[in-house]
Amino acid sequence: MSQHLSLPKDKIRFLLLEGVHQNAIDTLNAAGYTNIDYRKTALEGEALKEAVKDAHFIGIRSRTQLTEEVFAAANKLIAVGCFCIGTNQVNLNAAMIRGIPVFNAPYSNTRSVAELVLAESILLLRGVPAKSASTHRGGWNKSAVGSFETRGKTLGIVGYGSIGSQLSVLAESMGMHVIYYDAVTKLPMGNARQVGSLDELLANADVVTLHVPDVPSTRNFFAKAQFAKMKEGSIFINAARGTCVVIEDLADAIKSGHIAGAAVDVFPKEPKANGEEFVSPLRGLDNVILTPHVGGSTMEAQANIGLEVAEKFVAYSDKVNFPEIALPLTEGKHRLLHIHKNVPGVLSKINNLFAEHGINISGQSLMTKGDVGYLVMDVDATASQEALDTLHEVEGTIRVRVLF
């Protein structure tokens, strides 16, 4: 079935930042979208506002911050794609009240992160980072003291989601015992066991690894008190979010010898681009593995993410269905999106106004989320302009636009 888009595909502009994978560009081009502004770095401030003002779709990774001010500058914006797991770099409320969906790839790099954490666990239990650093300086410390096998050790996973559960399976295959703590009850994989409290996990785990989202309850989640409750000589790993750990307290726990080693991939403040200096109290500690937020940065993961998010862009632009609202496409119809305050009576007012104007609705679907409601409706193509004008009259209207 042929379909009339609200804009020709060559007029729909994509802004892709932070060097997203070539798969994303290839996928968009194959679908007929060629107006792509591709940049290898993150943007901020006025440069970001200038770049987004003519963009219909924006693709970012983890560095670019889409704030209320950025959304206010992006008058043509239709959708946002986060080419990564999380969306905490996006002001989701600012997107929601404008009817802008935010896509991401929550599962495409889980294997990459899980493999890195397991590898770091092995290296730290053997004391390899400190031995490597000493050898680079000309030292020769051939000793088994402080070196342990992973087999038989207990891995404590904090946050048993898609990454934590996959790590659980990999760790068990290496002969580790797995315990996990989560805010909600989760079905264990293999022989893993959920514990009743974080304190119980910290008291029993030889390796503690974080896999939690960035939400208010997890900010500064691990600090002096939590490190003190960990087993003497245990290992700490954070490949989740930099905001979850008080880095200064971790550094103190390592320097005191209470924690034998750590691996950290994410930080409270990270450089905006390659080449900028990375500053952290963990620098210079031989028994700490520091990586520049590369947990999910494998060629396989980035290729998968590029494909997944770009396909979501294409599906949204081509089929023009708001997420969680699905209507079959109908020949001879135009599809309208009405975003409004979530108050009683809006749908009734719209239906009554359309009836007064003799506008027939052939399909309609409503979704509400928090304080905002999203109404997608199909009307006869010949009546779409009148319908659009009528929707602007409805009290509580936030935004109205023709999808196709």
18 catalytic, yes or no? Answer: no
In the structure encoding, which two tokens stand for residue 25, read together? 């560009």
Round to whole Å and give the CA distance between 344 and 380.
Answer: 27
> What are the backbone angles phi and psi of residue 220, rounded to the nearest 5°?
55, 35
Residues 6+ apart with CB under 8 A from 381: 4, 332, 333, 334
Of 13, 21, 241, 335, catalytic: 241
**177-181/234-238 β-pairing:** unpaired
Letter for the amino acid at 204? N
Round to whole Å and give the CA distance between 184 and 75.
Answer: 40
Distances from the Cα of 83 to the Cα of 20, 301, 390, angstroms: 7, 10, 38
340 catalytic, yes or no? Answer: no
Residues 6+ apart with CB under 8 A from 32: 9, 10
Provide the 3-class DSSP secondary structure of residue 181.
strand
Residues 6+ apart with CB under 8 A from 60: 17, 18, 42, 66, 80, 81, 82, 83, 89, 90
Of 69, 172, 248, 270, catalytic: 270
Closest CA to 171 of 125, 228, 229, 226: 125
315, with CB counted inside 10 A (0-12, 13-18, 19+), is middle
Structural contact between residues 190 and 170, judged by C-beta atoms closer than 8 angstroms? no
Cα angle 239, 242, 248; round to 5: 110
Round to whole Å and give the CA distance between 116 and 168.
Answer: 13
In the structure encoding, which two tokens stand for residue 53, read together? 């003002």
Half-sphere exposure of 308 (CA within 13 A, CB side): 17
Residue with tokens 């042929």: 2
Round to whole Å and give the CA distance between 31 and 37.
Answer: 16
Structural contact between residues 39 and 63, judged by C-beta atoms closer than 8 angstroms? no
Of 21, 61, 63, 293, catalytic: 293
4 catalytic, yes or no? Answer: no
Catalytic residue annotation = 241, 270, 293
